[in-house]
C-alpha cells in the first residue's frame, strides 16, 4: 500500500513536470516578437531583402523559421531526455552551463533569507502566543501583518536607494568585488556577504511576518489542548512543556509550507536579482525573457518546475516520518 501510494505520487510529479514543459514550450513559441522577428527587422533596416534577412537570422539564432512547432517540440523533448537543454541564443553558451554557474549564487541569497526569516518568525510567533492579548502580542501582530503586506521588491528598492546609493554602506550590484581573486579567503567571502546583504534583508524582512503569524496561531491552538493542562497539573516544568510539546506540534503544520518555500526559492529570485543586478538564476531568466532567448527561458522554467515539484514530493513522502499521526493511504494528504 505504501509503495503504491509513493508510486502514484511520483507519477503525478513526473506528469506535472511534463505538463509544465509542454505548456511553457508552446506558450513561449507563440509569444509575439520572437528573436527571429527582432533580428529580421534589424537586418531589413540595413537594406537586406526579406529572404536574405531570414536566412542570416536563422543561422545566428539556430532556429529554422519554417519548421513546424510540433516538430520543434518533439526535438526539444528528445534533447531533454539526453540531458541537453540546448544552447542560449543570446549568450551562445550551453544553457546547462549558464544555469549551473548561476545556481549557487541564487541558492546562497535565497536559502540564507529563508533560514533567517523562518527562524525569526518561529521565535517571534512563539513569544506572541505566550503573551497573547498583551501589548507585545498586539504590537507584534501589527508589525508582522504590515511587513507581510509589503512586496519584497518595494523593500528591495528602498534598501538599495538608502544603504547603497545614499549612504554607500553596501555595493549597488554584482556578486563580489571584481578585482578580488575567487577562493576561500576572508576578503573574498566578506565581499560576497556585502553584495548579498541587501537582497537577503529584502526577503527576510518581508517574509518573517508570515511565519510569525502562522506560528502564533498554531501555538495558541496547541496551548489550549487538554494534555498540556494535564502536564502542568502533573508538575512538568513549563520549559519542558514548551520544548517537548508546544513547539514541535506548532511547527508541524508549517512543515509543508516550508518545503514549498524551498521550492519557490528559484522563482522568487527573478525580480530581486534584477533590482540588485545580481547575476544569479533569476537574473538570467529575466534577461532571457527580454531577449526572447527560447532555450534559456525554457531551461530556467524547467529548473524552477522541477525544484517545486521535487520539494512538494519530498514533503509528502517525509511528513509521516515527522508526524506519525499522519496515515498512509488514499486519505493521506499533507497539502
| pLDDT, position 295 | 84
| pLDDT, position 260 | 76
- Collapsing DSSP to helix, strand or coil, 330 comes out as coil
| pLDDT, position 331 | 46
| pLDDT, position 155 | 92
| pLDDT, position 34 | 64
| pLDDT, position 60 | 60
Residues 6+ apart with CB under 8 A from 244: none
Residues 6+ apart with CB under 8 A from 110: 203, 265, 266, 268, 269
- Phi, psi dihedrals of residue 87, rounded to the nearest 5°: -115, 135
Is the per-residue pLDDT at 198 higher than 90? yes
Is the per-residue pLDDT at 332 higher than 60? no
| pLDDT, position 160 | 93
- Grid coordinates given for 243: 520544548
If you average pLDDT over every residue of the chain, what do you get? Answer: 82
Mean pLDDT across 108-122: 90
Instruction: Tell me the CB-side half-sphere exposure of residue 131, using CA atoms within 13 A.
Output: 14
Is the per-residue pLDDT at 200 higher than 90? yes
| pLDDT, position 330 | 47
Is the per-residue pLDDT at 333 higher than 60? no
- The answer to whether 260 and 270 have CB atoms below 8 angstroms apart is no
**Displacement of CA 308 from its chain's centroid (Å):** 8
Helices (H), 186-293: 186-223, 226-233, 238-241, 247-251, 255-263, 269-275, 281-290
- The answer to whether 128 and 178 have CB atoms below 8 angstroms apart is no
Mean pLDDT across 53-60: 67
Is the per-residue pLDDT at 319 higher than 60? yes
| pLDDT, position 59 | 63
| pLDDT, position 89 | 77
Task: Compute the distance between CA of residue 129 and CA of residue 137 in angstroms, rounded to an integer.
Answer: 7
- Grid coordinates given for 93: 553558451
94 strand-pairing partners: 87
Radius of gyration of the chain (CA): 25
In the chain, the N- to C-terminal Cα span, in Å, equals 20
Is the per-residue pLDDT at 157 higher than 90? yes
Task: Compute the distance between CA of residue 335 and CA of residue 314 in angstroms, rounded to an integer.
Answer: 12
| pLDDT, position 292 | 75
| pLDDT, position 247 | 81
* Among 128, 334, 284, CA closest to 215: 128
User: Which tens digits make up the pLDDT trace of 124-140?
Assistant: 998 898 888 889 989 98
Is the per-residue pLDDT at 58 higher than 70? no
pLDDT > 90: percent of the chain: 16
| pLDDT, position 258 | 81
How many CB atoms lie under 10 A from the CB of residue 201?
17
Mean pLDDT across 15-36: 80
- Grid coordinates given for 320: 509521516
Mean pLDDT across 7-36: 82
| pLDDT, position 61 | 58
Mean pLDDT across 232-251: 82
- Collapsing DSSP to helix, strand or coil, 166 comes out as helix
Amino acid at each position: 500500500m505504501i509503495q503504491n501510494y509513493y508510486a502514484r505520487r511520483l507519477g503525478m510529479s513526473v506528469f506535472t513536470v511534463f505538463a509544465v514543459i509542454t505548456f511553457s514550450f508552446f506558450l513561449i513559441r507563440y509569444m509575439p516578437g520572437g528573436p527571429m522577428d527582432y533580428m529580421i527587422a534589424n537586418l531589413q533596416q540595413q537594406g537586406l531583402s526579406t529572404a536574405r534577412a531570414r536566412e542570416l537570422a536563422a543561422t545566428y539564432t539556430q532556429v529554422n523559421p519554417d519548421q513546424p512547432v510540433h516538430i520543434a517540440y518533439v526535438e526539444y523533448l528528445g534533447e531533454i531526455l539526453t540531458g541537453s537543454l540546448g544552447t542560449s541564443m543570446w549568450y551562445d553558451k550551453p544553457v546547462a552551463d549558464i544555469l549551473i554557474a548561476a545556481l549557487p549564487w541564487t541558492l546562497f541569497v535565497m536559502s540564507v533569507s529563508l533560514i533567517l526569516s523562518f527562524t525569526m518568525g518561529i521565535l517571534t510567533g512563539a513569544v506572541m502566543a505566550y503573551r497573547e492579548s498583551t501589548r507585545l502580542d498586539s504590537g507584534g501582530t501589527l508589525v508582522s501583518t504590515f511587513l507581510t503586506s509589503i512586496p519584497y521588491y518595494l523593500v528591495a528598492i528602498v534598501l538599495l536607494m538608502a544603504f547603497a546609493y545614499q549612504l554607500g554602506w553596501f555595493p549597488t550590484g554584482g556578486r563580489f568585488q571584481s578585482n578580488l581573486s575567487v577562493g576561500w579567503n576572508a576578503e573574498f567571502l566578506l565581499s560576497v556577504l556585502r553584495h548579498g546583504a541587501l537582497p537577503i534583508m529584502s526577503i527576510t524582512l518581508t517574509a518573517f511576518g508570515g511565519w510569525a503569524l502562522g506560528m502564533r496561531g498554531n501555538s495558541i491552538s496547541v496551548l489550549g489542548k487538554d494534555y498540556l493542562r494535564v502536564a502542568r497539573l502533573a508538575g512538568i516544568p513549563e520549559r519542558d512543556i514548551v520544548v517537548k510539546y508546544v513547539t514541535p506540534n506548532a511547527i508541524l503544520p508549517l512543515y509543508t509550507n516550508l518545503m514549498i518555500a524551498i521550492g519557490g526559492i528559484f522563482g522568487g529570485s527573478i525580480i530581486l536579482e534584477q533590482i540588485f543586478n545580481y547575476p544569479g538564476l533569476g537574473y538570467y531568466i529575466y534577461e532571457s525573457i527580454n531577449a526572447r532567448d527560447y532555450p534559456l527561458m525554457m531551461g530556467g522554467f524547467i529548473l524552477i518546475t522541477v525544484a517545486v515539484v521535487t520539494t512538494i514530493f519530498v514533503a509528502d513522502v517525509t511528513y509521516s516520518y515527522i508526524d506519525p499521526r499522519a496515515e498512509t493511504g488514499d486519505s493521506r494528504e499533507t497539502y
